[in-house]
Amino acid sequence: MLTRKQNDLLRFIHTRLAADGVSPSFEEMKEALDLKSKSGVHRLINALEERAFIRRLPNRARALEILRMPETGSPALRKTESAPRSDIRPASLLVAANDAIAIPLHGRIAAGMPVEALESDRMLSVPAALLGPGDHYALEVSGDSMIEAGIFDGDYALVKRCDTARDGEIVVALIDDSEATLKYLRHEGNMIRLDPANSAYQPQRYSPQQVRVQGKLAGLLRRYH
């Protein structure tokens, strides 16, 4: 069952597409739903995707497809008597997702502080197409311990907030509730091994009680000067 805002957004998108075949922008969706920021739109779109009302199109990162409407559960692409136009192609109900959204920028990943302690009102503008479903935040990378994974000093790590991860995933790990680091996660017997992506550094081993996953890498943003 959809919330009122989720339902309102789905109907707004469908109405706009039916009226003129052009998807509303994130800014238009924000204004239509009277939201304070485009990140709220992003969260609603994620929720609709998780509930299978829309989906991200494969090989088309900047578009979403409406799959169904809540009244009948049937595909939204079906022509109805209430549709203002009859010349809309069934496969063309796409939502442009090329807008930028703002996510929290917590600080530098090697600053020696827990992620919670880095909470602030700073935000980072990120292309919506770089993020999938879920709650995200950004950290500025400090140091060269992950350069062989293509992660360099000054990059912005886009992190999906979670508390579990599989072996081989790059995670934000909080060690002893005092130091946050970006590393590959591995399980090694009864220990947790955090692997750098730089042959000049050695893996770090900790007991499971010492390590707390605070997210996993979802994307990377780099600015060229």
Domains, the chain, ranges and CATH? 4-96 (1.10.10.10), 100-221 (2.10.109.10)
Q: Of the listed 23, 145, 160, 216, which one is catalytic?
A: 145
Strand residue runs (E) in the chain: 54-56, 63-66, 94-96, 100-108, 123-127, 136-140, 156-160, 170-175, 179-188, 191-195, 204-206, 211-221
pLDDT at 178: 78
pLDDT at 23: 67
pLDDT at 128: 73
Q: Tokens 């009226």 — which residue?
A: 19
Residues 49, 65: Cα–Cα separation, whole Å: 9
* 3 state DSSP class of 171: strand
pLDDT at 216: 93
Each residue's pLDDT tens digit in the chain (225 positions)?
788 888 888 888 778 767 766 667 777 888 888 888 877 888 888 888 888 887 765 544 446 677 888 764 444 444 333 333 333 333 334 444 456 678 888 877 763 344 444 555 678 888 777 777 788 889 988 888 899 999 998 899 999 989 999 999 999 998 888 788 899 999 999 999 999 999 998 999 999 999 999 999 998 988 775
Whether 145 is a known active-site residue: answer: yes
Lookup: tokens for 193: 């091994």
Handedness of CA 25, 31, 33, 38 (dihedral sign): positive
Q: Please state the φ and ψ torsions of residue 55, each to the nearest 5 degrees.
A: -145, 155
Instruction: Find, among 115, 177, 105, 108, the residue nearest to 145 by Cα.
Output: 108
Whether pTM > 0.85 for this model: the answer is no
Residues 59, 178: Cα–Cα separation, whole Å: 40
pLDDT at 215: 92
pLDDT at 50: 82
pLDDT at 168: 93
Q: Of the listed 183, 199, 207, 216, which one is catalytic?
A: 183
